[in-house]
Amino acid sequence: MSVKIVLFFTFIVLQINQGFSETVTLQISDGDIVGQVGTTVRQNITYYSFRGIPYAEPPVGDLRFASPVKNSPWNGTLNATYDRSECPQYSSDDLLGTTLYGAEDCLYINVYTPDVNENFPSVVWIYGGAFMTGNSSFASFGPDYFLEQGIVFVSFNYRLGILGFLSTEDEACPGNWGIKDQVLALQWVQENIAYFGGDPGNVTIFGESAGAVSVSLLMQTNMTEGLFHRAIMNSGTTLNLWGLNTRAAATATLVSTNMGIITTNKTTMINELRKVDVEKVMNVGSNTAWTLFLTNGLRGLPYAPTIEPNIEGALYTNPSDAALSAGLFHKVPVLMGFNSEEAVSAGSVPHYIDIYLNYYGLIVGFLTPYSLTSDEIKRFICGQDIKLNFFGDGTLGNRENLIKFVSADQFNRPIRRAAGDMANYTDVYFYEFGYQGNVSVQGEEREFDGTGHAEDVYYLFNIQNSTNYTNTDLYVSETMVLLWSNFIKYGKPTPFEDERLNNTIWEPVKSDSDDFTYLSINQSVTLAANPKESDWQYYQNAWRKYYDGTAEDTTY
């Protein structure tokens, strides 16, 4: 594929100063685009930025609650010098909905490249945010550090919340619209990345939290065959209980009823919901779903991927536990892991929430993983066992115990399980990130020990308005970027000995070994075995004792 770049630079004063001072025009499959020239923050390397390129038609009208449709070409030159609107959402501290941000016309993609005339490996970033919040903006995820490693960086928006994941669990509205956006974005990458100096034969998909669940799901669908060649999952997989909506149909019916749409015909319900103003859809949808979610928050997020009926266009039809165990996924190299105490932010939960926590102390069956069994007696007995193991004779309000329980149940156990399953079929490089630096989800003073959820992101991206970094923070950041970049380039995080990594060779998980190999990432990197072993063995024993295959959700 030929690359055409118009070699002229227009020196301008930008209205939005983000380190760009020149523009550049590029021709891609849908037409000409004008982008910007910038320099990276650490090594002062020149790169080219193209933001806000449409990859789909606006998902409005009949395209709301429907699979995305590829965008049409444009006439003239597209202005790709700024971030387009994020998808409709409330802020992370306002999920019950008072101020709505974003617009439905939000399906845009961004590309940053060191040189359009090269053939660099490419990485496609998928943001997290509980499938309810997030965006691909330059300010949120500055790609400077990967560009400095000679990597083309791609990011994009996908639909969130009710607009991205409403499902009736049948043909009327099978769901997973946000994931289907991701598939279309990956198809766009294959068709266009060479224009930006990227190699379509060397593409890595990379996500954190809900983005990592997305990567895990993209590995399991036939719709993505040939669209990527490596996968990175930070702090999430499809085996995480929060990553699967187990009450999608009930949520859709309740949302419809609360909007005054009273019908038993699911197709009529969805057609009427398409006519409702987006602000009302988001407000009623969020409040309704969170009300249902609070009846048992350990059962899954209110809007998230769901298992679809096996119909034309379905993306996700097999329970993940069975699929990964049987090798029903794209067998590409994988880099994945978790932070040392994912749920550490639970320590800052206000104490008036203790009333809600005590609810779980009374209905202890809710502490039992939803996928373990549907037998209420077994769930009660197992829940009592879990309560005693993590909380002893105390209440669930003990913050240190709560952190340990949520980290083990919602993160460590399922992520390690997914890695072990996939290691039977492909190379899996597992890590635990335990560095407690100046970047903290607990503020400047850490009240509880451990590296919390999403702290790793601050060491991989140039995030605007983030905390000032110490010299050690910078060293850890450079180490992580090097490991992740090596994997993106070579499929191995340590393809050769490197003094910057203490000449450590990161070995993949060995499926035929009793020891689960992983890399401990802290102020230095060291090989270790069996992360969070005591919690892992505890839950393994619980599965042996109580699992009977009767639960509706067979996610691990």
Catalytic residues: 209
What is the C-alpha separation between 511 and 501, in angstroms, rounded? 25
Beta strand 108-113 with 152-156 is antiparallel
What is the C-alpha R_g of the chain? 23
What is the C-alpha separation between 468 and 453, in angstroms, rounded? 19
Which residues, including other chains, have CB under 8 Å from residue 449's CB and lie 6 or more apart? 341, 344, 436
Residue 428 has φ and ψ, to the nearest 5°, of -125, 120
Please give the single-letter amino acid code of residue 53.
Answer: I
Distance of CA 366 to the CA centre of its chain: 25
Decide: residue 45, CB within 10 A, 0-12 exposed, 13-18 middle, 19+ buried. middle
Measuring CA to CA, which residue among 166, 167, 162, 175 is closest to residue 287?
Answer: 162
Measuring CA to CA, which residue among 156, 127, 162 is closest to residue 279?
Answer: 162
Residue 65 has φ and ψ, to the nearest 5°, of 55, 45
Please give the single-letter amino acid code of residue 315.
Answer: L
Hey, what are 56's tokens?
């789909």
What is the C-alpha separation between 329 and 220, in angstroms, rounded? 4
Helix/strand/coil percentages in the chain, nearest 5: 35, 20, 45
CA distances to 102, 113, 124, 127, 488 from 149, rounded to whole Å, are 32, 11, 15, 21, 10
CA 158, 162, 168, 173 dihedral sign is negative
According to DSSP, the residues that pair with 156 across neighbouring strands are 109
CA 191, 195, 201, 206 dihedral sign is negative
What is the C-alpha separation between 216 and 213, in angstroms, rounded? 5
Q: What angle do CA 197, 198, 199 make, to 5 degrees?
A: 130
- Centre a 10 Å sphere on the Cβ of residue 12 and count the other Cβ atoms it contains: 12
78 near 32, Cβ under 8 Å?
A: yes
414 near 429, Cβ under 8 Å?
A: no
193 near 203, Cβ under 8 Å?
A: yes
Please give the single-letter amino acid code of residue 372.
Answer: L
Residue 362 has φ and ψ, to the nearest 5°, of -90, -45
What is the C-alpha separation between 414 and 428, in angstroms, rounded? 15
What is the C-alpha separation between 479 and 473, in angstroms, rounded? 10
Output DSSP code: residue 408: I
What is the C-alpha separation between 67 and 72, in angstroms, rounded? 16
